[in-house]
Amino acid sequence: MSNPLRGPSPGLEPLEEKTLAEKLFLVRFKVDSASHLILNKDLCLDCTVRACLVICPSEVYKWTEGRPEITVSYEGCLECGACRIACASGAIDWRSPRGGFGVCYKFG
């Protein structure tokens, strides 16, 4: 771990700010070519709740108005499984990523 002491008053400046995207950049992912989160898009269109858009800690689910559909950036999935629990319409087929793929914590 690198030394975080910087500047003239070590340890006194506020904790560094990072956006979610920057935080996810710190996490090691071994990205597979195919998604392990399969959506039943018809069910998603009919869904009025769309809990997935809120619940995901890495915000992999995005509603694209133009299409319209939910896109899944599975590459940043932390594999917590909260979307599967929260999805009321049963539209998420949550599969474990291929062995060795997906999130790989250094600290955990």
Cβ of residue 39: shortest distance to other proteins, in angstroms?
Answer: 16
36 neighbors 74 (Cβ within 8 angstroms): yes
- Going by the DSSP 8-state scheme, the letter that residue 88 receives in this structure is S
Cβ of residue 34: shortest distance to other proteins, in angstroms?
Answer: 13
Q: Is 70 in the site for other proteins (CB under 8 A)?
A: no
State which of residues 8, 14, 37, 41 lies at the interface with other proteins (CB under 8 A). 14
- Going by the DSSP 8-state scheme, the letter that residue 102 receives in this structure is E
By CB under 8 A, how many residues form the interface with other proteins?
49
Q: How far apart are CA 38 and CA 29, in angstroms?
A: 19
Count how many Cα atoms sit within 13 Å of the Cα of residue 44 in the half-sphere of its side chain.
22
* Residues at the site binding other proteins, with contacts judged by CB under 8 A: 1-5, 10-16, 18, 20, 23-24, 26-27, 30, 49, 51, 54-59, 78-82, 84-86, 94-100, 102-108
